[in-house]
Structure formats: structure tokens, C-alpha cells
Amino acid sequence: MKTNTYSRRTLLRGAAATVLASPFVAGPGFARSSSGELRIAAWAGYVSPEMLAAFEQDTGIKASYTPYGTNEEILSMMRVNQGMGFDVIWPALDRVPNYVDDNLIQPINESRVEWDRCIESAIKSSETLGAVVNGKRYQVPTDWGTEALAYNTEKLSLDYGTASYADLWKPELAGKVTVRGHSALVGLALWLEQEGKLPRPFLDSFTDAEAMRANYDVVLAEAVARKATIAQFWSNQNEAQGAFRTNGCILGQTWDSTAAGLKEEGQPISYLAPKEGALSWMEGISLPVGAENIEQSYAFINWMLTAKAGAMYASHAKVNTTAKGADAFLPEEMKTFFQTAYPADAINNLWWWPVQENWFVELRGEYQDKFLSA
């Protein structure tokens, strides 16, 4: 959403100068207790054994980690278990209102969060992206990332300013493209909107069901007509990476972490924001209503916002941390990756996911299913 766009440069401005002198020393924001177990549910690939070991060393708290692959997977799990089973979860920020509507997460006690460790613009921006519902905060922002164009540099050449979501649908790339069903429709919609082919402003789709159907009818017809380019649909990172490793894909609309991981493996993969704007999301930690270890949960939140923990997290998960000072601890290759992915004005041109209310998610699934089965 252009009105909610903020800059990674703004996020990281002065960050290197604010490295905490001893970020792993237990302080007011940490628990010092071995009682209970912190039960973490987070995206697959987000929490490493090294992170769990460092957290235990710094706080005395043992933690277990259950991975999941999609927003739908953890939301469904929370609904089935009525908010029980975990102490902290990691939903996408634009989906937080879904959890609130279903009474699955509890308000954050903001007095227990070490906010001075978190980049101010992330705190502020999260208020309008889903963290605050009816005046109460339900999530502490920990990271942000994008979905844009991943491509094989030995087979394709893309340049910033001309690279577009339209490239995914070119006939000459038949059988060589991978996309995620519902977000591919969004990328296609942004291209069609710039071409003047949508009947309503695309952002109206997220607030008005009639506008959503009017726009998505056009988008779906275009996607089905061009579906021959798609070799594989993905729903999680492993599937997206597999499309490039083994299924012959040379272009895809993927997460930044997907491309960064492939590049780290030595694959000839690069990542670039298209001219319509990279699809951007923020994530963070929320507390389920059934959380049993509250003190340990806040200790984990505050630990994640330290500079070195943020850098461990960003380096492992290949996402952008909101922890102040983490830049100073990141490997050089990671900094280079992001500079290549977001050149010129790409950061200022990010397209932030609006809040996706339950009615929109239901309709979104309806159109995705029609696309996948066409």
C-alpha cells in the first residue's frame, strides 16, 4: 500500500551506531527461569538450533520449535486447538486481524516489551498493517520481507525498471515458471492495473467484496489464458526452491528468502523487485490465548529484538530483522544480495499487503482454486 510504504533505508538508518554493548546479558526484559518450556511455532527455516541454544544460554529458558509452511497452516492449527498448544506464534502481520476475530491471540502487554531495541519505523508502520486492532496491539514486529522475481542468471537477464510481473506470463517461457497461486494473481493484478485493464482500483479489492469480484474476474481470466507458462505451483519455500533445483524453472515469483537460500547453495539465482513493486509483508510474534509461559514469552520477544539475536535470525532465515544494530553483524554477502534485489527507488516502491479480512481470504481461496484447477 503506497500510503503505508516505508523505506528499508529508514528502518536501518543509524542502526549500526546503536549496537547494544552486551545484547545477550539478561536484563529487565529477560526472564531468568528454567521452569516451564517455551513452545514456539514459527515458519519453517526461521529458528535454528543455534538460536535456541543461544536463547537458553542467555536466559536460562529451554525452548522447543514447531515449524509450519503457510499462513493457512498455522491459522487452521490455532482454530482447531482454540488458541492452545503454543506460547508464541509468528503470523504475517496482515493476517493478525483473522486471529483476533477468532479470539485466538491475546493483546500484547506493551509495558513488558523492550521497545527501544526495535526500529521505530517498524513499530509505527505495524500499527496500520495489522498489529493494532480496535486500539490494542496483538503483535511485536520482528522482520519483513518481499515476494518478487527470482531468476536463473544463466538463462535470463532482467533489469530494474523494465522487469515486470508481466515477464512471468510471456509465451516464450512456457513450462519454465513457478508461482504461488493466490499471490501470483496479485502480481498479475498490479501489472493489469498499470495497463488500465482493471475495472476498479485494485486496493478496493481488500475492502469491498463487489470490487474484489469485479477485479478478480478479470485477473483470473488473464491468468487462465496464460497458464501455459507455469511449470509448478508452490505453497512453501521448499517447493519454490525445488522448482529451480529439479523442475527446470528459470523464473518465478518467490520470497526473497527463497532466492537468497538458492544463491547461498551456489545456484545461479538472482532476485529483483519488478517495476510494479515487490509484494511486501511484515511478521512478528503474537501470544496465543492459551499461552502458558507468559514470562518466558516476553523474554523471547525481547531477546529477538537484541542486535546479535536479530542478526542470527536474519542470517539464518534470510529476512530483514527489525532489531536495531543488527546490520553490523550481518555477513557481507547478505548485504550485497539486498542491494542487488532493491536497486534505485525499489525500496520506496514496495507494495505492502493490506489487511486481509476473513471474507477476503475466503474469496481469495475461491479464485485461487479456480486458477489451479483450470
- Residue 10 predicted with pLDDT over 90: no
Task: Report the alpha-carbon distance of residue 217 to residue 47 in Å, rounded.
Answer: 39
pLDDT in tens, 279-288: 999 999 999 9
* Predicted local confidence at residue 237, as pLDDT: 93
Secondary structure of residue 320 in the 3-state scheme: strand
Task: Report the alpha-carbon distance of residue 180 to residue 192 in Å, rounded.
Answer: 18
- Residue 242 predicted with pLDDT over 90: yes
206: which DSSP letter? G
* Predicted local confidence at residue 36, as pLDDT: 64
- Residue 33 predicted with pLDDT over 80: no
Secondary structure of residue 243 in the 3-state scheme: helix
Mean pLDDT (whole number) for 17-23: 33
- Residue 16 predicted with pLDDT over 60: no
Mean pLDDT (whole number) for 3-19: 37
* Predicted local confidence at residue 23, as pLDDT: 36
Residue 33 grid cell: 527461569
* Predicted local confidence at residue 35, as pLDDT: 54
Mean pLDDT of the chain: 91
Task: Enumerate the H helices of the chain as residue ranges.
Answer: 8-12, 49-59, 71-80, 96-101, 120-126, 181-194, 209-225, 237-245, 256-265, 294-304, 307-317, 332-341, 358-373
pLDDT in tens, 136-175: 999 999 999 999 999 999 999 999 999 999 999 999 999 9
Contact 277, 160 (CB under 8 A): no
Give the pLDDT band (50/70/90) at residue 13: very low
Provide, rounded to the nearest whole percent, the portion of the chain with pLDDT above 70.
90
* Predicted local confidence at residue 15, as pLDDT: 36
Q: Is residue 206 packed enough to be buried (19+ CB in 10 Å), middle (13-18) or exposed (0-12)? A: middle
* Predicted local confidence at residue 50, as pLDDT: 97
- What are the chain's domains? 2-143+282-332 (3.40.190.10), 145-279+350-373 (3.40.190.10)
- Residue 22 predicted with pLDDT over 80: no
* Predicted local confidence at residue 121, as pLDDT: 86
Contact 108, 93 (CB under 8 A): no
pLDDT in tens, 37-83: 899 999 999 999 999 999 999 999 999 999 999 999 999 999 999 99
Task: Report the alpha-carbon distance of residue 89 to residue 99 in Å, rounded.
Answer: 11
Task: Report the alpha-carbon distance of residue 288 to residue 86 in Å, rounded.
Answer: 7
**Dihedral (Cα; 267, 256, 12, 334), 10-degree rounding:** -10
Residue 253 CB contacts under 8 Å (≥ 6 apart), including other chains: 147, 148, 149, 150, 165, 168, 178, 179, 180, 183, 184, 187
pLDDT in tens, 189-234: 999 999 999 999 999 999 999 999 999 999 999 999 999 999 999 9
Residue 179 grid cell: 508461482
- 285 — alpha (psi -120 to 50), left (phi > 0) or beta? beta
How many other CB atoms sit within 10 Å of the CB of residue 228? 12
Residue 343 grid cell: 536497486
